[in-house]
Structure formats: C-alpha cells, structure tokens
C-alpha cells in the first residue's frame, strides 16, 4: 500500500505541512513569509515536548536577533561589518543568556533581516517578530497534532538487533578465549558499535516517553514503553557481562587447560540455542563450575572469566523465559 509516511518520513512531512500553512497565513496577512518559513523549518523537533519547551527559548532569542539586526543596520548601513556584527552579537548575547536552543533561529533572523530593511525600522522589527511568531507557533502546533512520533517499532528493532549482536559477540569471544586469544581488536570494535546502537535506542525511548507524557490518554503505550525500558536495561547488563570477557588486562598471562578448553567448546553451540527452554543447572555449566573448583589460588582471573560465562548463561536463561520484547533468536548455523 502506497504511503507518503514511509517514503518521506514523519518529520519531513510535518516540515512540509508546517511551511505551507506558515506561508499561507503570512501571505493572507500580507506579510513576507520568508522569516516565518525559515523559523518553521528549523523548529520542527522529534517530539511535541521538545517543540513546546524550545519555543519558549526561541521566541526571546528571535527578538534579540531582530533587534540587533535593526540597530546594526541603523548605525552602519548595509555593509560587511553589519552582517558580521549582527551575527556575532546575536550569538554572543543568546549564549550569555543561556538561550542555547534559540541561537540558530536568532542568528538566521538577524542576518536575513539586514538586506530587507530599507527604512521604518520599528515597522520591520515588529513585522519580523510577527512572522517569526507565526512560524514558531505553526511548527509547534503541527508537531503536536499531526503524525505524533511513534518510535516503538524502531526501538524494539534496535533492541532485538543489539541482543542478537551481543549473542554473536558472546559466541565470538568465548571462541577467542578458547583459542587463547585474550586481546581482540575486532571484539572491542563490535562492542563499541553495539554501545552506539543502544545509545540510539535509549534516545528514542526518551523521545517516545516525552511524547506520551503530552498525550496522557495513552496509558497502554506508557505501560508497553516501560516493558521496553526494562528490556533495554537488561541488554545493557548483558553487554556489560560480555565486555568483562573482552577487556582483560593486557599484562595478564592466562592459558586454559585442555579440559577447560574442551568444556568451553561445549559452551559454544549452546550460545546459539533458545535459552528460554534451557535448564539453569545445565550439565555444561556444572562442568564449568567444576573447572573453577579445580583451579589454584593464583588463577583467580581465570576463575573470574569462567564464572562470568556461567553468570551470563544463567542470567539469559532466566530472562528469556519471561521477555516478550526481544524474542527473536539467531538460527543455528
């Protein structure tokens, strides 16, 4: 089925609607739409909450930018110095006043106003404020009412992908340790990639939470979001445990015995399995535990590594029996 939403994306569609309505209102009021349209374009945010919050900052910032543009033009005329002064002073003042989210709008307003002002400075100042207000208001209303952001599927997709990637990394790392490879640049790189994916998922989760907080009727959505939040928290813990197997001290000397290697090789195919049906007291885990008991006192770190593998398995078994958010398992190969 044809869908503009799938082709262009929600934010692009809302930007197009916002600029159209903004220009329509300005032209109906016989005002130049350029400043309002620019404002509408740069003020569409990922959530309604962000739009409303930043609108309170962007309006006074725009006032500052318009005022500085008028005063710079009044004293220096339209020169290169005027543009530089308007931009520099606007950015400096808005930063000093901590109007960070309004810096871009204010600077654009200040610079764009200069060539359009001929005389009647007060009139141009007020009309620019009016058009900027129209742009801000329209973009905020559109962002709130039209195509409210829905990040749930994307967050679940990122969570599922991350969990699968950690599963693969876990398998790869146990394989590397079995072969005596304590340091691994590839595993380190993959670990950091998964961290970035998780950071994106958490950012989208916050966006969705903010959106739902402005649409209080969506209680079911909030409950589902809470389940997803718990799943992301688990995946972060999962990644941390695998990270403990990756980041081994460089000066450490550790070699697994033939028996330990044999047991760890038995572990590898288990990582590919659906752990929701696995026994928490799996025989292979018991064999790993026996290996730990046989270690000498000076092999503390080896015991730590083997114990991390046992903890990982038992944590995954308990988790996968209850989760419904990320239930896709990697097929055995």
For 37-66, the pLDDT digits (tens) are 888 887 777 776 777 777 788 888 888 988
Phi/psi of residue 195, nearest 5 degrees: -60, -40
If one counts every other C-beta atom within 10 angstroms of the C-beta of residue 7, the result is 9
Q: What token pair was written down for 184? A: 């691994």
242 φ, ψ (degrees, to nearest 5): -65, -35
* CB proximity list for 86: less than 8 A, separation 6 or greater: 65, 68, 69, 72, 73, 110, 111, 113, 114
- % pLDDT > 90, the chain: 22
Q: What is the mean pLDDT of the chain?
A: 83
- C-alpha R_g of the chain: 29
Span 167-211, pLDDT tens digits:
999 999 999 988 888 888 999 999 999 999 999 999 999 888 877
**With 70 as the cut, is the pLDDT of residue 324 above it?**
no
**pLDDT digit string, tens, across residues 77-106:** 888 999 999 999 999 999 999 998 889 888
Residue 165 pLDDT exceeds 90: yes
Residue 8, pLDDT > 70, answer no
Bigger pLDDT: 273 vs 83: 83
Distance CA 159, CA 165 (A): 10
The answer, yes or no, to whether residue 67 has pLDDT greater than 80, is yes
**Residue-range domain boundaries for the chain:** 9-145, 152-320
User: Residue 37 and residue 73: Cα distance in Å, rounded?
Assistant: 23
User: What's the length of the chain?
Assistant: 333
CB 152 within 8 A of CB 225: yes
Q: Which residues contact 236 (CB under 8 A, 6 or more apart)?
A: 198
Q: Of 88-92, 182-186, 214-218, 292-296, which one has max mean pLDDT?
A: 88-92
**Greater pLDDT, 172 or 151:** 172
SS3 324: coil
DSSP H stretches of helix in 97-148: 103-113, 121-145
Residue predicted with more confidence, 6 or 23? 23
**How far apart, in whole angstroms, are the C-alpha atoms of residue 111 and residue 41?**
17
Contact 157, 197 (CB under 8 A): no
Here the tokens at position 116 are 């359009």
Which residues, including other chains, have CB under 8 Å from residue 158's CB and lie 6 or more apart?
197, 198, 200, 201, 204
CB neighbour class for 196 (10 Å; exposed up to 12, middle 13-18, buried from 19): exposed
- pLDDT score recorded for residue 7: 43
């Amino acid at each position: 089925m044809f869908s503009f939403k799938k082709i262009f994306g929600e934010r692009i569609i809302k930007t197009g609607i916002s600029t159209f309505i903004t220009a329509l209102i300005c032209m109906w009021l016989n005002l130049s739409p350029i400043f309002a349209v620019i404002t509408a374009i740069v003020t569409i945010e990922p959530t309604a909450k962000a739009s409303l919050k930043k609108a309170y900052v962007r309006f006074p910032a725009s006032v500052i930018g318009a005022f500085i543009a008028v005063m710079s033009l009044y004293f220096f005329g339209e020169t290169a110095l005027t543009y530089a002064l308007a931009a520099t002073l606007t950015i400096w003042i808005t930063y000093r006043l901590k109007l960070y989210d309004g810096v871009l709008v204010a600077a654009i307003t200040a610079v764009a106003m200069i060539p359009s002002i001929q005389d009647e400075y007060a009139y141009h100042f007020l009309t620019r404020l009016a058009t900027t207000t129209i742009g801000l208001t329209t973009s905020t209303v559109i962002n709130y009412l039209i195509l409210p952001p829905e990040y749930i599927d994307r967050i679940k997709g990122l969570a599922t992908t991350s969990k699968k990637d950690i599963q693969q990394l876990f398998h790869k790392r146990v394989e590397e340790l079995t072969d005596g490879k304590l340091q691994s640049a590839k595993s380190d790189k993959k670990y950091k990639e998964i961290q970035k994916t998780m950071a994106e998922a958490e950012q989208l989760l916050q966006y969705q939470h903010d959106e739902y907080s402005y649409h209080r009727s969506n209680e079911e959505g909030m409950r589902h979001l809470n389940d997803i939040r718990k799943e992301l928290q688990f995946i972060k813990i999962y990644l941390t445990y695998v990270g403990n197997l990756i980041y081994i001290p460089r000066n450490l000397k550790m070699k697994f015995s033939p028996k330990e290697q044999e047991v760890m090789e038995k572990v590898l195919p288990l990582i590919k399995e659906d752990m929701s049906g696995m026994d928490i007291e799996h025989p292979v885990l018991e064999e790993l535990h026996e290996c730990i008991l046989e270690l000498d006192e000076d092999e503390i770190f080896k015991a730590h590594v083997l114990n991390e593998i046992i903890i990982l398995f038992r944590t995954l078994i308990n988790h996968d029996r209850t989760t419904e958010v990320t239930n896709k398992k990697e097929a055995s190969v």
